[in-house]
Amino acid sequence: MKLTGSEIFVESLKCEGVKTIFGIPGGVVLKLFDVLHQQNDVEVVLTRHEQGAIHMAEGHAKATGKAGVALVTSGPGMTNIVTGLADAMMDSVPLVAFTGQVPTSLIGNDAFQEADNIGISRPCTKHNVLVKDVKDLATVIKEAFYIANTGRPGPVLVDIPKDVTTESAEFHYPDKVSLRGYRPTVSGNRFQIKQAAGEILKAKRPVIYVGGGAVFSGAANEVRELADLTQIPVTMTVMGLGSFPGTHPLCMGMLGMHGTYCANMAMHEADLLIAVGARFDDRVTGKLSEFSPRARVIHIDIDPTSIKKNVHAHIPIVGDVKVVLKELVQVLSSMDGNPTSVKAQRRPWLKQVNAWSAEHPLAYQQEGKKQTKPQYVIDKAYELTKHKAIVVTDVGQHQMWAAQYFKSGLQRTFLTSGGLGTMGFGFPAAIGAQKAYPNKTVLCITSEGSFQMNLQELAVAAIYKLPVKIILLNNQFHGMVRQWQDLFYEGRYASSDLGNTPDFVKLAEAYGILGLRSEEPADVEAVLKEGLKHKGPVMMDFAIDRFENCYPMIPAGGAQHEMVLEDPPQLKTARKPSRKKGEDADAVLPA
Amino acid sequence: MEHVISVLVENNPGVLARVAGLFSARGYNIESLSVAPTPDATVSMITVVTSGDEVIIEQIMKQLNKVIEVLKVVDLTEEDHIERETALIKILTKQAQQRDEAIRIAEIFRANIVDSTPQTYTFEVSGDAGKIQAVINRLKPMGIKEIVRTGRIAIARDAL
């Protein structure tokens, strides 16, 4: 039977099991939306900005592990999703973005709302395709989902010209794909795995360093088995959070620029790093020449380009993290019959690790009457939702505090923009995650800076009744920028002071959303409790200490063991935000 | 060190941009680039001459392999291979003496003179980069009007 391109599009989505897509219509995709409108299997979430759509698709994908889908129009519709594509590319988020294109006869003519979608998205997608013939559409969609979901996941863009949406072709959805240039390696090399096992048994000061790859691969159980069996302490990147329980005695917490003292010291002193689905990002390594100077490196990753890119790997193992770890655990179990001897052998190292942990634990001081500490809000939120919430963060200080204090116990419950560091990601991503799991508690931990970058999606939360709990840590600063200015720019707050922010409670109310405000520490728990109890979406605006800084901190370009652990003395004296002349805060927005 | 890398790709529109874009985005050098169809109409061969230390070349090979439309990547520098470039060189030959000299140079380098006017000769010369440079150096004193060079192509030598 012949179907139009638009019908083929919708039927293909159904074949892929897609239940929700996020998008905004426009001239060249009207036919696609028209067909979507006349069926009930695939729901369209109409967002208020295309950037919202792509981050929602990301949030949906990060929460479920399956490709998120966005549909936007040509020209500005497409250019508005570029940030989300780049974000998904960095964080290996499976995504299929459909963009409209002007009719094939007009391509290249500078037609209305024309952009070179393929050219623009090429460097920020795993793959992209312009469909020139409706006969190819089903196959292209099948391949797009396959490429997005397999190997190292990533975004795929499918560009569909208007005439392709209206022309007809026989519909047959292929069962299999045959891509001769794309065959990801899944199982690791056996010989290498044996070598790795040998190194692990020999090591005196080993560390398991887990990244986002473990989450995508669903390898939490395997990471845990490896750690338990070998008694090796575990640290995670911000992307890896959730792949090992934060409350486990072997857990050292996050590593890197704002990682724990213990994790960074252990990395620095280690004689063996077992890197699991991590890519030695500069925020993790700090100064490369002084990174883990005594460590041999076992690097397990599905993407060969991640291996030996920044740090030399003595034992590279290309493969799916879950599959490789399973085999590694098997090999180790058969090699080592006596678990008590492992425990004894590991004792001095674990003692040292625990000593570091005790020496400089994550800490903050919340004094009763003073300003609310942001860490206190996050700590309370964690306490009230322990292991039951999906936490979605924006980018900045609040993100790092959330990463430090939320001891996520389950994979896919800490969703954040790690690689690209996209402010504005959090709220739409939280909506996407909530859409995937309508009955779970989804917390959006954000700040007034990040939130204002995509606040228009409040409409989506309200209209689709998605009960996202927004925890907004409001310091009226681009806080992380302000922190760097305090530490490295002699406290000159160039364009980091946001002045008076809008009244977020009223803003929420304008969208028909409950707004709550916490002015002082005594309000925090009550606001959180009320917000969490409320059935619909909630905006909780927490006035926090404007000058709280996030520690530990490895200054950019510093070595990992050279952490700044607290405000330097000169910062502890009173600080006032400096404003340029003529810039009257009160004139920006009425308080 | 200079490396000659053969990249077999799907013969799709945009694939060259994908490969070239990868080099520019990651800050790798392209010293020369040549693209041509192969006997199999569905695939094309890209020959890239690039440079970098061992770590960079390893990354380049891996990054190329990661491109979905790339089917095979071979670093020919690692094996015995033959390299060729072609140049078309237009020289000024106003005096008879220059024309004689030009013909002699063509014979020595096994180059062809493929066009001639009262003022110019056009040389066609093939060989490795060193030979092309030698011809250019030799012709320079006569007055070179224009040079057009192909990118380098290369093929592995088979064992006997």
Residue A206: pLDDT above 50?
yes
Rounded percentage of chain A residues whose pLDDT exceeds 90 = 91
**pLDDT on residue A369:** 79
Domain carrying residue A302:
190-359
B64 in the same domain as B14: yes
Residue A396: pLDDT above 70?
yes
The answer to whether position A177 is within a domain reads no
A393 in the same domain as A355: no
What average pLDDT does range A132-160 have in this prediction?
98
A378 in the same domain as A348: no
User: How many domains, chain A?
Assistant: 3
B58 in the same domain as B11: yes
Whole-angstrom distance, CA of residue A544 vs CA of residue A541: 9
B101 in the same domain as B46: no
The residues with which B50 forms a beta bridge, in sequence order, are B3
Domain carrying residue B116:
82-156
B110 in the same domain as B71: no
What average pLDDT does range B92-96 have in this prediction?
90
The answer to whether position A487 is within a domain reads yes
Number of Cβ within a 10 Å radius of residue A105: 11
Asked if A45 contacts A56 with a C-beta cutoff of 8 angstroms, the reply is yes
A125 in the same domain as A210: no
The answer to whether position A179 is within a domain reads no
Whole-angstrom distance, CA of residue A482 vs CA of residue A492: 8
- Write the residue in A119, A147, A309 that is nearest to B68 by C-beta: A147
B118 in the same domain as B55: no
| A567 lies within 8 A of chain B by CB | no
A546 in the same domain as A521: yes
Residue A6: pLDDT above 50?
yes
A564 in the same domain as A467: yes
Q: Which of B45, B78, B111 is the last residue of a domain?
A: B78
Q: Which of A335, A359, A383 is the last residue of a domain?
A: A359
Q: Which of B78, B95, B111 is the last residue of a domain?
A: B78
Residue B126: pLDDT above 90?
yes
A438 in the same domain as A387: yes
Residue A440: pLDDT above 80?
yes
User: How many domains, chain B?
Assistant: 2
State the CATH number of the domain containing residue A583: 3.40.50.970
Q: Which of A359, A386, A411 is the last residue of a domain?
A: A359
- Whether the CA torsion A187, A188, A191, A194 is positive or negative: it is negative
Residue A226: pLDDT above 60?
yes
A211 in the same domain as A312: yes
Residue A368: pLDDT above 90?
no
Q: Which of A331, A359, A387 is the last residue of a domain?
A: A359
Surface of A (133-162) touching B: CB under 8 A: 147
Average pLDDT over all residues of chain B: 95
ipTM value > 0.90: yes
pLDDT in tens, A162-205: 999 999 999 999 999 999 999 999 999 999 999 999 999 999 99
State how far Cα A299 lies from the chain centre.
22
Catalytic one of A2, A14, A39, A112: A112
CA distance B16 to chain A (A): 12
Residue A583: pLDDT above 80?
no
**pLDDT on residue A575:** 61
Residue A578: pLDDT above 70?
no
Q: What is the DSSP string of A490-514?
A: TT--TTTB--SPP-HHHHHHHTT-E
B145 in the same domain as B92: yes
| A351 lies within 8 A of chain B by CB | no
State the CATH number of the domain containing residue A254: 3.40.50.1220
The answer to whether position A145 is within a domain reads yes
A535 in the same domain as A386: yes
Using alpha carbons, list the distances in angstroms from residue A293 to A257, A297, A560. 17, 11, 10
B141 in the same domain as B125: yes
A552 in the same domain as A525: yes
The residues with which A470 forms a beta bridge, in sequence order, are A444, A539
Contacts of A309 in chain B (CB under 8 A): 59
pLDDT in tens, A517-537: 999 999 999 999 999 999 999
A101 in the same domain as A40: yes
Phi, psi of A440 (to 5 degrees): -90, 155
Average pLDDT over all residues of chain A: 95
Q: Which of B78, B106, B137 is the last residue of a domain?
A: B78
Residue A314: pLDDT above 80?
yes
State the CATH number of the domain containing residue B58: 3.30.70.260
Helix A5-15 to helix A30-37 angle (10° resolution) is 60
**pLDDT on residue A573:** 66
Three-class DSSP category at B103: helix
